[in-house]
Structure 1
């Protein structure tokens, strides 16, 4: 078992850190709001730290799951950042969905400080975090990844090294492109079926057994049909991710016309008051 720190105790980070503690790892936590860290320790044991630097001191692995590139830099760099407290040879594992650019930047900063960095965004949403069933996509050095994979599997059902620094973030972008297109297609299919007078539950039951079947259909089809969007991955989070990947697409010369259009559809959902609705709420835009 390892001595670890976890920075960021939001809807994803809190259960991920809890799984580490349940597996027997010695966990120190940090959260921008100290009361949340204290509550986590009261429920799960371990220690709460006042700064990322304090949390990272003496740890073998420092995990983080925060909001965006700037949030990540704020807990990593500077006098009170994690890098300032980490011992030579320690590993920083970042589960934030962020840009490949910031992953490469922080990897270079880690190398200069005698540290190691793995970008490791996750898929599976809040339910996956709660159930310890996330999928983790990693970028970095193979030897370093091998050191941290057992700890990652405390809260993941699958983890894989995808290539050098930034590759985990790029793989997460591929994931989000695929999801966005699939959810829009499912929304239009259900909307069409309803307008055509079909029994949608029966339709979903039969087509899910064929080539149209997907995780989204199995897990969100019925709730989309019922207009229930009060769970899962929020629209505002998806828009953040789509903004990151569309910017990366412009840099790489990738053509993403459908993804850009769906980002605008999500903007429409936000205008309807749906920022915190589940991403399956694309159907609400069609039925307004």
Structure 2
């Protein structure tokens, strides 16, 4: 259970679509912060279990969940999953009241963010793309970093509510800017994890006590979140936790597609993406991203 301290915010009626390893805890923080939460999940039993635990209500369609909500949050798998809970007769947009805000925490493409923001605008709704960083632990502890794109007034309306599960919620530009910022985040992580993997494998081959070495270099210029949180588990060869390789490959696919569109050269990122493909082929689809080191053993 998180020890999160919630800032006083006027209770609002909200919906949360998608109760996976991220969405379930995020919705839980909204309920604990005092908001009236209705949840929807493709697997209805998960929504029922969440409602029983947190005292909220569950709906059988996104449209039903969104009825009367001032803010509808979502955290699903990819662009197509997002469209499926937003659009159509049973989609959230069909149930939302004029002026309500849809906040998408899915890591998706900047294109789908702009597409859905435009569709929302036509029917008097507002849309914020708001991918998150911090992983499952960040969701459980209410300490996510949220990168947002969209209208400034809509952002100001959702920010205090989203702080229930966040340590920072920041508007970075127009629709799509949040997704682009998440891509920057994943580019950084890909390079950092590969560098850390190579360093640990090198140190082990050299006969060093790598736990001791990590303690030392972690106090200097090599320090990073990845070193602090993944270094020693890489030394131990433990990867059955954290952000899965399959998810990282999905994210890097979005990054590389966007890079082709905007003319960016990402040689290291493209190489690390292929290294993750190697890990997948050796059965590591659900291993943590730090499993890159297994290629070097």
TM-score range, shorter chain: over 0.9
Q: Does 1:266 align with 2:276?
A: yes
Question: Whole-Å Cα distance in 2 between the matches of residues 118 and 41 of structure 1?
Answer: 25
Question: Whole-Å Cα distance in 2 between the matches of residues 236 and 267 of structure 1?
Answer: 9
Q: Does 1:49 align with 2:59?
A: yes
Question: Whole-Å Cα distance in 2 between the matches of residues 218 and 150 of structure 1?
Answer: 30
Aligned to 1:114, the other structure's residue is in SS state coil
Give the TM-score normalised by structure 2: 0.96
From 89, 92, 97, the counterpart of 2:99: 89
TM-fit CA distance, 1:115? 0.1
Q: What is aligned with 2:118?
A: 108
From 237, 242, 250, the counterpart of 2:247: 237
Q: What is aligned with 1:137?
A: 147
Unaligned runs of 5+ in 1: none
Q: What is aligned with 2:161?
A: 151
Q: What is aligned with 1:284?
A: 294
From 163, 181, 189, the counterpart of 2:199: 189
| Pairing 1:145-184 to 2, within 5 Å after superposition | 145-184=155-194
* Paired residue total: 287
Q: What is aligned with 2:3?
A: none
Question: Whole-Å Cα distance in 2 between the matches of residues 194 and 254 of structure 1?
Answer: 35
Cα deviation, 1:219-256, whole Å, max 9, x if unaligned, reads 10000001000111000000000001100000000101
Cα deviation, 1:34-77, whole Å, max 9, x if unaligned, reads 01100000100111001000000110000000000000000000
Cα deviation, 1:96-118, whole Å, max 9, x if unaligned, reads 00000000000000000100000
Q: What is aligned with 1:256?
A: 266
Q: What is aligned with 1:4?
A: 14
From 27, 33, 39, the counterpart of 1:17: 27
C-alpha root-mean-square deviation of aligned residues, in Å?
0.4
From 195, 199, 210, the counterpart of 2:209: 199
From 217, 220, 245, the counterpart of 2:230: 220
TM-fit CA distance, 1:202? 1.1
Question: Whole-Å Cα distance in 1 between the matches of residues 215 and 136 of structure 2?
Answer: 25
Cα deviation, 1:233-288, whole Å, max 9, x if unaligned, reads 0000000000011000000001011100000000000011000000000001111x
Aligned to 2:107, the other structure's residue is in SS state coil
Unaligned runs of 5+ in 2: 1-10
TM-fit CA distance, 1:90? 0.2
Aligned to 1:154, the other structure's residue is in SS state helix
Question: Whole-Å Cα distance in 2 between the matches of residues 64 and 202 of structure 1?
Answer: 42
Question: Whole-Å Cα distance in 2 between the matches of residues 144 and 282 of structure 1?
Answer: 40
Displaced runs of 4+ in structure 1, greater than 2 A? none
Question: Whole-Å Cα distance in 2 between the matches of residues 43 and 205 of structure 1?
Answer: 40
Question: Whole-Å Cα distance in 2 between the matches of residues 229 and 4 of structure 1?
Answer: 35
Aligned to 1:63, the other structure's residue is in SS state strand
